[in-house]
Structures are given as C-alpha cells and as structure tokens.
A and B are shown apart, each in its own frame.
Chain A
C-alpha cells in the first residue's frame, strides 16, 4: 500500500469547516483513499473513501486532486465531538489488497476549540 503523509496536529474552531490534508504521491491506479478516525480510547471509525472522484456522505467530504497525489477530508461544521486522530490510508480494493490488514500511520490529531 502507498505511504501517506499527514500533519501531526491541527486546530479548528467549533462550527467551522475542518480541512485535513493527506499526501499520497506514490498511490497506484487501483488504490483507494480511506479515512478513519479514532476518538480517545475507542476503536477506529470509518469516515469515507474514494478512488478519483470527490465523495460526500453524512459525515464528511473527500476531495481528491486530479493527479490523485493528495486529498483533503472536510468536516463541514466541526463540533467538539470531532476531536480525534484522523488517519488517511491508501489501500487496494481487490481481494488481495482489500483483504489485508490496514497500515495506520501517525495520523492527524484534530483538536476542535470551543
């Protein structure tokens, strides 16, 4: 799986949009970009994933650049409960890559300020 680079930490004001960047310059054509988050002392929670098109669900939006070398997770209206470590993971979706365990980097510690 391709390696990802994320900032160590970020602050965001409550009610504002939180934009979390991720670089994945070595991503290959069949690899997806996944985002998970981990609230303190809990298991990771799936947020969103995408291949090349931008994606949106009830939790967040995912913007992937045209060259797919980077992406941004957007939490449109951050709340205090969004304080967590956010992990950007690149993985294949085929039976080989998709059935493997995930490789977690250090992630971004997002702190939502009141």
Chain B
C-alpha cells in the first residue's frame, strides 16, 4: 500500500517557540493531505485540509494563524505550530489522499508527538 512518512516522530520544545512537522507521501502524489490532532485517550480530530498550491481549509475552532499549513508540492505538506504552548502538546497525524476523483483512499502517517514545556 501507499506509504506516508512524518518527521520528526517526536519533538520537545519550549513554550513560545515554533515547531514544523513534515508529512510526505513516499510513493504516490497527493493533491490533498489532512492534518489531525489526538489528545490522550481521545479520538483523532480533523484540524485542516491541505491542498497543493492553494490555501488550507481549517475546521471550526482551529486557529489558522497558529497552525500554519503549507502544501508546496504533491508529496509534501508541512504543519507549523507557531508560538507553541503546553496546551498544544498532542499527537499530530497527517494523511494523504490517493486515487481518482471518484474513488480515493486516505493513508496515514505514523504521527508526531509534540510536547511543549
């Protein structure tokens, strides 16, 4: 099946700093990628939809100026958590869409665990 990677797998940063997380589709091109967030003992929550060459679409309640998404190529989307605070500590997971307009699949990355001190 299609492979999606994320980097880094875990990151610890100080409060107020920015952190960039990369999501790559390794063996296919993805015009659409998604970013999810998962807090401990909770389910995945969709944060935003990232479309190559255009602005991301954010879910209600997700601050677009805090979570910057760039989808500059068909194989790479990045999520930057700006001015991170302890409440941003979470498991961030991306997925990439593969397939045709009429039928497609989402393939998930392994996740990035962010800890903000």
The minimal Cβ–Cβ distance linking B60 to chain A, given in whole angstroms, is 12
- With contacts A43-B93, A93-B103 taken as known, whether A104 is within 8 angstroms of B111 at the C-beta atoms is no
Q: In this complex, what residue of A is CB-closest to B57?
A: A101
- A83-B106 Cα distance, complex, nearest whole Å: 22
Q: In this complex, what residue of A is CB-closest to B4?
A: A43
* Contact in complex: A41, B102 (CB < 8 Å): no
- A43-B104 Cα distance, complex, nearest whole Å: 18
- Chain A residues, Cβ within 8 Å of B59: 101
Interface SS of chain A: loop
Chain B, interface size category, equals 20 to 34
Which of A41, A46, A106 touches B105 (beta carbons < 8 Å)?
A46
B67 at the interface (CB under 8 A from A): no
* Contact in complex: A44, B108 (CB < 8 Å): yes
Produce 1/0 per residue, B1-37, CB < 8 A to A. 1001010000000000000000000000000101010
Which of B6, B43, B91, B104 touches A41 (beta carbons < 8 Å)?
B91
The minimal Cβ–Cβ distance linking B84 to chain A, given in whole angstroms, is 20
The residues in A between 76 and 114 inclusive whose CB is less than 8 angstroms from any CB of B are 87, 93-95, 98-107
- Chain A residues, Cβ within 8 Å of B106: 46, 102
- Chain B residues, Cβ within 8 Å of A41: 91, 111, 113
- With contacts A98-B104, A101-B34, A102-B106 taken as known, whether A43 is within 8 angstroms of B49 at the C-beta atoms is no
- Chain B residues, Cβ within 8 Å of A44: 44, 93, 95, 108
- Chain A residues, Cβ within 8 Å of B74: none
Q: Other CB < 8 Å A-B pairs besides A41-B111, A101-B95, 12 of them?
A: A36-B108, A42-B110, A43-B109, A46-B1, A46-B106, A93-B104, A95-B101, A98-B102, A99-B97, A100-B49, A101-B34, A106-B43
User: What would 8 A/B residue contacts be, using CB atoms closer than 8 Å?
Assistant: A42-B111, A43-B108, A43-B111, A44-B95, A45-B108, A93-B103, A102-B95, A104-B43
